[in-house]
Structure 1
C-alpha cells in the first residue's frame, strides 16, 4: 500500500475525529482543567500531553500489529485481530465503564500524559486502527509499511487533537454563558457507541 494512500489517511483521520468526540479521550479533562484554572490557555496546553499519551498508546498497538504481520499469515492475523476487537468491545459494553483511573486537577503534564496513555489503552483506541492498516501486514513488512503506519498515526492524532480543541473551546464558552448542566442529559452515551464501533471493526475483519 502506498504510504500516502488517501483511503488510509481518510480512515485514520475519521477515527481520530471519532476518538476526539469521546470525553474519555481527553476533552472533558481539558475543559475541567481550564475551568479550574479559569484559563483557556491551560485547557489548550493540556491537549499536548493528552495527544502524546494517546499517540503512544496507539503506536504500541500498531507497531505490534505490523510486527506480528511478519510472523503470521494475513488471514490468521485478520481473524485474530477481529476476535480481539469483538472481545474488547463486549467487555467494554459489559463493565468497561467501571473503575476508571482518576487523576486530580493538580496533576502535572507528565501525569496527564500517563492518564491519557492508560485511558486510550483501556478503551482499545489503537485496536480501531488495526483494520485500516491490515493491508500493510503482508508477511514481509517493508520500511514503507512502518512509514505508512507513522503517517497514519500522525494524521489520526492531529484529527483527534483538532476535535478535542474545538469541543473544549465551545464547552468553555457555553460554561461562561450558562453552564454545562445539559451534558448530563444531552450528551450521547459514548461508552455504548464506542463498544459498538469496536465490535463492528472486529466483524469487518472476519468478513
Structure 2
C-alpha cells in the first residue's frame, strides 16, 4: 500500500459516523456551540490513533518473530471474518444521549474504532514494514524499525481521518442536524463491512 492509500483509508474512516464525528455533532448540538464540536474532534482523533497504533504495535512486535506469510494470512482471515460478521449482523451500536467529558470521549472513540476494526485494514502496511526492516542489524533494530514506521503510518492515517471527520461534522452540524443520520449510519456501516471483507481478500490473495 502507498501513502496515498493510507490517507484514503483515513479519509474513509473519517466519513464513517461510527468513527466519531457523530459524537462531535451530538456534543455541539447538546451545548448549542460549534466550539464544543470543534473541541471534541482532537479527543476523537486521539482515541482513533490509539486504536490504530495498538494494531501497529502488535504487528510490529509479533511480526518480527513470524514470517510475513503467516502475518498476512492471519490478518486477511481476521479482516474477512470481522467484515462478514459486521455485514451479516443485525446488531448496531446504539448512540445514547449522554454527556461525555473529553477524556471519556477519547476512550469511547478508542472502543468504537477498535470494535469497527479501524486498524485492521492497515495490517498489510504494518506487515510490510516488518519485511522492509530486515536489513537492520539485530532483532532490536528490526523491531524498532517496524514500530517507528507503524506509528508513523498510524499518525498519518489519523491526520487524514481527523481532517475529513472535522469537515463532515461541521457540515452536518450547520446543515443537516441529527435527523437524517439513522439511514446514513446503516449505509456507512454496511459499506465499512464490505470494505473490510475486500481488504481481507486482497491481503490473502497477495500473501
What TM-score comes out, normalization by structure 2 length?
Answer: 0.87
**Corresponding residue number in structure 2 for 1:171:** 172
CA–CA separation in structure 2 for the residues paired with 1:8 and 1:145: 16
Structure 2 spans left out of the alignment, 5+ residues: none
Cα offsets for 1:18-37 (capped at 9, x unmatched): 00000010111111110111
1:198 aligns to 2:199 (yes or no): no
**Corresponding residue number in structure 2 for 1:149:** 150
Aligned 8 A contact 1:8 1:133 in 2 = no
1:36 aligns to 2:13 (yes or no): no
Aligned 8 A contact 2:130 2:143 in 1 = no
Cα offsets for 1:177-196 (capped at 9, x unmatched): xx554445567701111111
**Corresponding residue number in structure 2 for 1:132:** 125
Say which SS state the counterpart of residue 100 (structure 2) adopts: coil
Structure 1 spans left out of the alignment, 5+ residues: 1-6
Cα offsets for 1:154-189 (capped at 9, x unmatched): 1111110101110111112214xxx55444556770
Cα offsets for 1:73-120 (capped at 9, x unmatched): 11111111111111111111122x625265543211111111101101
Between 55-64 and 101-110, report the one with greater CA deviation: 101-110
**Corresponding residue number in structure 1 for 2:91:** 98
Between 8-17 and 83-92, report the one with greater CA deviation: 8-17
**Corresponding residue number in structure 1 for 2:65:** 71
Aligned 8 A contact 2:13 2:118 in 1 = yes
The 1:124/1:185 distance shift into structure 2, 3 A limit, reads closer
**Corresponding residue number in structure 1 for 2:106:** 113
